[in-house]
């Protein structure tokens, strides 16, 4: 995600879906995302998940097949992802978001 000046690694190798992120000094993402670790949840209805919440990053599609949004909950960022199809089809080479 070089256009966001964000670099992520480790996700595909982690059995728990842990992803390590690094941000360039001029990364345009909100400071809260860069300073505070966040959790991510796959949801079936992104709009319902963020309804009535403090939206930090509005729904957007950083990669084909997935729409993401961030909210703020008790001062921490929470990421929600909605896949356009089965996760294994959208990201076939990555670990699943929902751990069996």
Residue 21 lies in a domain: yes
Residue 69 lies in a domain: yes
Q: What is the pLDDT of residues 42-75, one digit of tens each?
A: 899 999 999 999 999 999 998 888 999 999 999 9
CA distance from start to end of the chain: 28
> Residue 46: which domain range?
2-90
Please state which of the ranges 26-35, 51-60, 89-98 shows the lowest mean pLDDT: 89-98
pLDDT at 91: 63
Regarding pTM above 0.85, the answer is: no
Residue 20 has pLDDT above 60, yes or no: yes
Say how far apart CA 53 and CA 32 lie, in whole Å.
Answer: 16
β-pair partners for 6: 23
Residue 51 lies in a domain: yes
Residue 73 lies in a domain: yes
Half-sphere exposure of 70 (CA within 13 A, CB side): 18
Residue 97 lies in a domain: no
**If you ran DSSP here, which 8-state letter would residue 69 be given?**
E
Helices (H), ranges, 36-74: 46-50
Average pLDDT over residues 77-92: 80
Residue 100 lies in a domain: no
Can you state the percent helix, strand and coil of the chain, rounding each to 5? Answer: 20, 40, 40
CATH number at residue 34: 3.10.180
Residue 96 lies in a domain: no
pLDDT at 93: 61
Number of domains within the chain: 1
């Amino acid at each position: 995600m070089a256009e966001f000046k964000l670099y992520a690694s480790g996700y595909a190798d982690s059995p728990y879906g842990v992803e390590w992120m690094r941000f360039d000094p001029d990364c345009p993402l909100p400071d809260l995302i860069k300073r505070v670790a966040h959790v991510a949840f796959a949801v079936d209805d992104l709009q319902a998940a963020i309804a009535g919440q403090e939206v930090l990053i509005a729904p957007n599609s950083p990669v084909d097949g997935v729409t993401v949004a961030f909210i703020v909950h008790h001062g921490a960022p929470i990421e929600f992802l909605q896949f356009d199809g089965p996760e294994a089809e959208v990201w076939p080479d990555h670990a699943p978001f929902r751990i069996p």
